[in-house]
Amino acid sequence: MTLPAREGAGVPGGAGHVADSLSPAFESLFRTEYARVVGIAHRVLADQAEAEDVAQDVFVSFYRSHPANVPYAPAWLHAAAAHAALNALRGRDRRSRREAAQALPLDAAAVTDDPAEVVAASETRDEVRAVLARLPERSAAMLALRYAGLSYAEIAAALDIRASSVGTLLRRAEDAFRRELQ
């Protein structure tokens, strides 16, 4: 599967016609897959607003380059969600490093009564995201897809690998994740 490059907004779409409304096929695809795509991105980013931004970008990429009723649509969207979220995560890490260098305070978004828990949860979350950003692309994508609830067959379709290989590759990804986190 050819994975989409992450595209920004504002790029007019090729020679096609801008319709007043979406095709029924696309609307059906969007309604069926939106929550799943957000869920995959959320596993990577741990931030719903950012995950929904990624999902919008993914659907725009698909909308401008593929017919909505192709059989591979769900698999394409799942793969694109994982890779686009990982791209966003790495971009976020680069921003964080710049901000840290400029001695700006980190934004602790979690809400709890215990300041110690806020710090601990935030540190764990940041550490997990940093590990995901360091892992090889396929391993990180595999973890995001699996822990977003995709079946082995769906992971195989999304990452264009044999279903019989998913178990082995997933175990390796989990082992790598544990090692990096320790």
Partner 1 sequence: MNDTDIARALGTTDPSVNTDDALVRFRARVQSDGIAEVPPVARRRISSRWLQGLAAAAGVVIVASALTLSGVAGSILQIFEPKSVVGVPVSQSDLNYLSQACSGLNLEECMGAYGTFVWTTPPQPKEFQTRGQASADAGFAVQTPTSLPSSVTGNPRYGVINRSSATFTFSADSTRQAAARQNRTAPPLPADIDGSKLFITGGPAAVQIWGAPAGATGATGAYPDVPTLIVGQAKAPTISSDGVTVEELRSYLLSQPGISPQLAAAIRAIGDPSSTLPVPVPAELAISHPVTVQGVQGLYIGDNTGIASAVIWQKDGMMFEVIGSFTESQALSIANSMR
Residues 104-163 that bind partner 1 (CB under 8 A): 124, 128, 143-144, 147-149, 151, 153-154, 156-158, 160, 162-163
Considering the complex, state which of residue 69 and residue 99 has its C-beta at the smaller distance from partner 1.
69
Q: Does 70 bind partner 1 (CB under 8 A)?
A: yes
Q: Is 150 helix (H, G, I), strand (E, B) or coil?
A: coil
**Is residue 168 within the footprint of partner 1 (CB under 8 A)?**
no
Instruction: Name residues contacting partner 1, limited to 1-30 (CB under 8 A).
Output: 1, 9-23, 25-30
Taking CB under 8 A as the rule, which mask of x and - marks residues 44-63 in contact with partner 1? --x-x--xx--xx--xx--x
- Should residue 83 be labelled a site residue for partner 1 when binding is judged by CB under 8 A? no
Token pair in block for residue 24: 């029924």
Phi, psi of 33, deg, nearest 5: -110, -10
Q: Which of 3, 68, 133, 176 binds partner 1 (CB under 8 A)?
A: 68
Residues whose CB falls within 8 Å of the CB of residue 57, separated by 6 or more in sequence, listed in order = 6, 7, 8, 9, 84
- Of 36-44, 90-98, 100-108, 109-117: span binding partner 1 (CB under 8 A): 36-44
Cβ proximity to partner 1: between 22 and 104 the closer is 22
Supply angle C-alpha 20, 50, 24, rounded to 5: 25
- Per CB under 8 A, the list member of 71, 101, 102, 116 interacting with partner 1 is 71
Nearer to partner 1, 118 or 128 (CB): 128
**DSSP per-residue codes, 84-140:** HHHHHHHHHHHHHHHHHHTTPPP------S-HHHHHHHHHHHHHHHHHHHHS-HHHH
Residue tagged 């971009």 (tokens): 91
Q: Looking at 3, 6, 64, 126, which residue binds partner 1 (CB under 8 A)?
A: 64
- Distance (Å, whole) CA 151 – CA 145: 9
The residue among 32 and 112 lying less far from partner 1, judged by its C-beta, is 32
Question: Rounded to an integer, what distance in angstroms lies between the CA atom of residue 69 and that of residue 8?
Answer: 24
